[in-house]
Structure 1
């Protein structure tokens, strides 16, 4: 793991639920399977980055490992990072149970991962970049760019708010009203903490940060005014 100056942002700061116990991680894994079609999302990701059998892929913020496991079926090697040691241990156990031996795991993130000269064909990350303030988002995106081969693909999915929304009080109230019952109180509480304490930014800011970091945005998708997906290429 990279040693950083004292003034660097501490990306290991835990905001929201602290996934220190296996029970908490297992509950998170179960809930994600309930409210998301992870297999379909992984297939969409695979097609967008045009994953090839000889490719090496880096996933930043692997969580419980579901996407890394799916991607490992279609490429040479996946290196999966997460700042939560509990998440990593759960992901490693899951990968072992599914006999996926081409996945490596490391306790690191956007700012602390040390590639040691290794370059990747693709970097993917979902619902992680919002943990960093905008200044550090740019540093993180530049780090991602430096880890990619020329022409390498970067897949980013995160909470990004639409700058076209005029009344955010009404907007967020409606989001909470539309939460599916299966989400439960915990997901609602996590969404509340996300809006209050985390660092999701606006669409025009995110697009500018991506481009300033040295990427071309090949495709962008915006959903429900708060979810964005970007397929980017290193230039």
Structure 2
């Protein structure tokens, strides 16, 4: 990977501090993590025993551990050493599971090495310019026919509705997860959640073919394929 003096440091903390042990200890409950749902997702995405995959922003490793039990090799990638420690503990005994302390702009992988890349609730840590850079790197790392699964906060409402939508989402967070109002407000104010149409344009401009797009309130999901 070529290094430039203007390259973004994707290890910098944006919003919540996921090196904090309390944040990591409560992460699964707050995010609604579920091995059963992640296994069903991986089956839906077509993960097979001969395949290799990477989960970028793997968190505490629920999804990547399930993937390791279903495929030839899985890689969990996260910028947080504390998260990776939890993921490694969860994946203990999985010989085909490895980890990298890295992010979307710094992970290491040979070109065309993965059949599947997943990224749940992690891409919003990058500004939009760097999201596009991340997509080019993931595209290069996927084999032809390989798929990218992306789920994140992404808005799909007219500008006049953005304030009300953001406020409604923060209220929903406080009522349905362990996140506080201050933490939800910090996400809107300091992190880089963007628009679904911007994500779609970035993906297609990189060469991806959109296979699936589902919008569920402020959460959006894309499945994109490298032709």
TM-score when scaled to structure 1? Answer: 0.89
Tell me if the contact between 2:150 and 2:223 (Cα under 8 Å) persists in the aligned partners. yes
In structure 2, what is the Cα distance between the partners aligned to 1:31 and 1:56?
28
Corresponding residue SS for 2:173: coil
Quick check: 1:155 aligned with 2:149? yes
Corresponding residue SS for 2:160: coil
5+ residue gaps, structure 1, are none
Corresponding residue SS for 1:75: coil
Quick check: 1:172 aligned with 2:171? no
- C-alpha change, 1:117 and 1:64, in structure 2 (3 Å) is same
Quick check: 1:232 aligned with 2:224? yes
- Within-5 A mapping of 1:88-127: 88-96=84-92, 99-117=93-111, 119-127=113-121
Count of residue pairs brought into register by the alignment: 227
Q: CA deviation at 1:165?
A: 5.9
The aligned counterpart of 2:194 is: 201
TM-score when scaled to structure 2? Answer: 0.92
Runs of 4+ deviating beyond 6 Å: none
- C-alpha change, 1:77 and 1:193, in structure 2 (3 Å) is same
1:129-180: CA deviations, max 9, x gaps?
Answer: 1111111111100100000111111111111101346322322232233336
5+ residue gaps, structure 2, are none
Tell me if the contact between 1:156 and 1:229 (Cα under 8 Å) persists in the aligned partners. yes
